[in-house]
Amino acid sequence: MADTIFNKIIRYINTKSENRDLSIFDSRTWGSGGKIQPNDYAALVREFKNNVRSCVELRGTAVAAVPLKLYGTTGKGETPIRYWQTREVERKEKAYLQTQPLLYRKMVKAIETAEIVDHPFLDVMSTVNGFFNAFDLLSLTSFWLDLTGNAYWYIVKDGLGKPIEIWPIFHIESMRVKPDAKNFISGYIYKRGTKEISFDVDEIVHFKSVSPGSEYYGVGALMGCLDSVRMRQFMDEYEQAMFENMGRPDMALFVKNLTKERMAAIKEGLKQYTGPRNTGKMGVFEADEYEFKELGQFNPREMAFSSGRQYSLEEVARAFHVPMPILMGNDSNLASSKTSEYYMAKYATMPQCIKIQEKINEQFASLFDSRLFCAFENPVLEDGEFRLKEIETKVTTGYSTVNEERQIDGNEEVEGGDLRRWPTSFVPVEQAGQQRMLTQVEMESVTESIIDGAMMKLKERDSKVK
């Protein structure tokens, strides 16, 4: 299958460089280990295991599970975007989008903003290519950002210059930016061994987690906890060695006048008595003179790494903003579980979503139309109980009407929901008694609509959580 993938890519490569050979994309040739440096991306990717893998997967799959929507703006004097199938943006949805500075600037300049539900951008983002889908693409992008701070998409275009496929670039360590004194970046070079491919700037989408040490490359969250990760590895290696040969021999055999050949033969024979399954066995060997000595018992504290492992786990979780209860999966308390989910969504999932969507808007969506932008739905689920109290307070104080609150929640208006309820204490003395008060029937209708709307939002939240 790998050969099929890379041959497919080759067919789409620009004919101006017929000598490009994309067989170097083949991910079957991974490098080997070594001391990890901040730009040793291959080594950083190899750390995708144990606690790091758990955290990276939790955040990456959470990002990929959030729906990505497409929007379009129409400015003064511009052709309306409604030649595509559109949907009106709800007030609550618009308010969330405008909390993001870059999207706010786009929307505030437009006379209309609408969600586009049918567009080639959505088709490409959905199908990606014949071997990866949207969930794969977004998960991988988040994985690479967390591990290395960089992720790359190769954009395949048709004859009109419009994107038709996306290929995530593996082997992050092989991709290099071509600095340019005039344009900052003049392109990209993908080099493996003696083979080299050059890409134009608009062929590659480069995602990166901003680094204070480089203007061209990012740095991943993994670098913030790498010391703790290596400490965990050292503990594992130490204990593994101890299990394989009991840490140190319980008994030692001293033999006089032993040749090197005889020493090697004895060591080879001793191997059958090492390891956890051979605990307590004693080897017997032929010798003219010998002496056994007991070396004493191993101190249990030397193998007690539980506190060290716990510290390493907590450091890794903090680096990726993953709450410990979610990582451990052992929180049976509903209140604290909701708190953990809220923290994860707000500080782990949402920033990663915004980071990815902004780069898509900058280098990919603009290839279709400069008026387009995409945005993930708000991953932070609203607290239903808090929302219910908020509605009750706003309606009973006259801050808003029932229908205004129902519009915020995306619900249909109800009869009598446009009446504003003013408490007597809020009315000037000279106007007391002049305000129309709701009848009993209207009050019951208002209360029922509030409860129905709140219950609907609670059910939607619970279904998303499940």
Q: Are residues 100 and 198 in the same domain?
A: yes
Q: Are 337 and 27 in contact (CB under 8 A)?
A: no
Task: Flag whether 81 is in a domain.
Answer: yes
Q: Give the mean pLDDT of 81-107.
A: 86
Better-predicted residue by pLDDT, 442 or 96 = 96
Same domain as 89, residue 196: yes
Residue 253: per-residue pLDDT: 63
Q: Which domain holds residue 230?
A: 226-303
User: What does the DSSP assignment read for 202-221?
Assistant: GGEEEEE--BTTBSS----G
Residue 379's alpha-carbon distances to 67, 113, 346, in angstroms, are 9, 21, 7
Does position 304 have pLDDT exceeding 70, yes or no?
Answer: no
> Could you tell me which residue, 413 or 462, shows the higher pLDDT?
413
Query: Do 459 and 399 fall into the same domain?
Result: yes
Please choose, from the candidates 276, 204, 269, the residue with its C-alpha nearest in 3D space to the C-alpha of residue 245: 276
**pLDDT, averaged across the chain:** 78
Q: Which of 145-154, 226-235, 336-345 has the lowest mean pLDDT?
A: 226-235
Q: How many CB atoms lie within 10 A of CB 459?
A: 11
pLDDT interval class at 408 (50, 70, 90) = confident
Residue 377 counted as domain residue = no
CA–CA distance from 30 to each of 33, 62, 189 (Å)?
A: 10, 27, 19
End-to-end CA distance of the chain: 35
On whether residue 451 sits in a domain, the answer given is: yes
Q: State the chain's maximal CA–CA distance in angstroms.
A: 119
**Cβ(403)–Cβ(418) below 8 Å:** yes
pLDDT one-digit tens code per residue, 76-86:
878 777 678 88
Burial class, 421, CB count within 10 angstroms (exposed 0-12 / middle 13-18 / buried 19+)? buried
- pLDDT for 80: 76
Question: Last residue of a domain, which of 189, 223, 257?
Answer: 223
Q: Which two tokens stand for residue 23?
A: 């067989």
Q: Give the residue from 255, 271, 303 where a domain finishes.
A: 303
If asked whether residues 82 and 149 sit together in one domain, one would say yes
Residue 130 backbone phi and psi in degrees, to 5: -75, -5
Question: Does residue 328 lie in a domain region?
Answer: no
Count of Cβ atoms closer than 10 Å to residue 96 Cβ? 16
Query: What does the alpha-carbon distance between residue 449 and residue 65 come to, in Å, rounded to a whole number?
Result: 31
User: Is residue 155 within 8 Å of residue 118, measured between CB atoms?
Assistant: no
Please give the structure tokens belonging to residue 309.
């492992």
> Within this chain, do residues 99 and 57 fall inside the same structural domain, yes or no?
yes
pLDDT in tens, 130-175: 899 999 999 999 999 999 999 999 999 988 889 999 999 999 999 9
Report the alpha-carbon distance of residue 151 to residue 122 in Å, rounded: 21
Asked if the structure places residue 8 within a domain, the reply is yes
**According to the model, what pLDDT value does residue 1 have?**
45
- Place 32 in a pLDDT band, splitting at 50, 70 and 90: very low
Asked, for residue 68, whether it belongs to a domain, the answer is: yes
Domain count for the chain: 3
- Taking 90 as the threshold, does the pLDDT of residue 19 lie above it? no
Q: Token pair 């029932």 is at which residue?
A: 402
Q: What sign does the dihedral 396-402-408-411 (CA atoms) show?
A: positive
Q: Which residues of 316-340 are buried (b: 16+ CB within 10 A; e: fewer)?
A: bbbbbbbbebbbeeebeeeeeebeb
- For residues 119 and 190, membership in a common domain is answered with yes
What is the predicted pLDDT for the residue at 388?
75
Q: How much is the average pLDDT of 330-349?
A: 83
User: Does residue 292 carry a pLDDT above 80?
Assistant: no
- Give a yes or no: residue 355 inside a domain: no
pLDDT digits (tens, 9 = 90+) for 114-124: 999 999 999 99
Does 175 share its domain with 251? Answer: no
Closest of 151, 141, 5 to residue 60, by C-alpha: 141
* Domain stop point among 223, 253, 278: 223
- Say if residue 42 is in the same domain as residue 117: yes
3-state secondary structure of 373: strand
**pTM for this predicted structure:** 0.69
On whether both 63 and 151 belong to a single domain, the answer is yes
Quick check: 401 and 395 in contact, CB under 8 A? yes
Residue 197: inside a domain:
yes
Q: Are residues 142 and 197 in the same domain?
A: yes
Residues 139 and 241 in one domain: no
Condensed to tens digits (0 to 9), the pLDDT of residues 236-291 reads: 777 676 666 554 555 566 666 777 787 777 777 766 666 555 555 555 555 555 55
Backbone angles phi, psi at 253, to 5 degrees: -110, 120
Give the Cα separation of 359 and 370 in Å (integer): 14
Q: Are residues 240 and 117 in the same domain?
A: no
In this prediction, residue 34 has a pLDDT band, given cuts at 50, 70 and 90, of very low
Burial category of 279 from C-beta neighbours within 10 Å (exposed 0-12, middle 13-18, buried 19 and up): exposed
61, two tokens = 């799959």
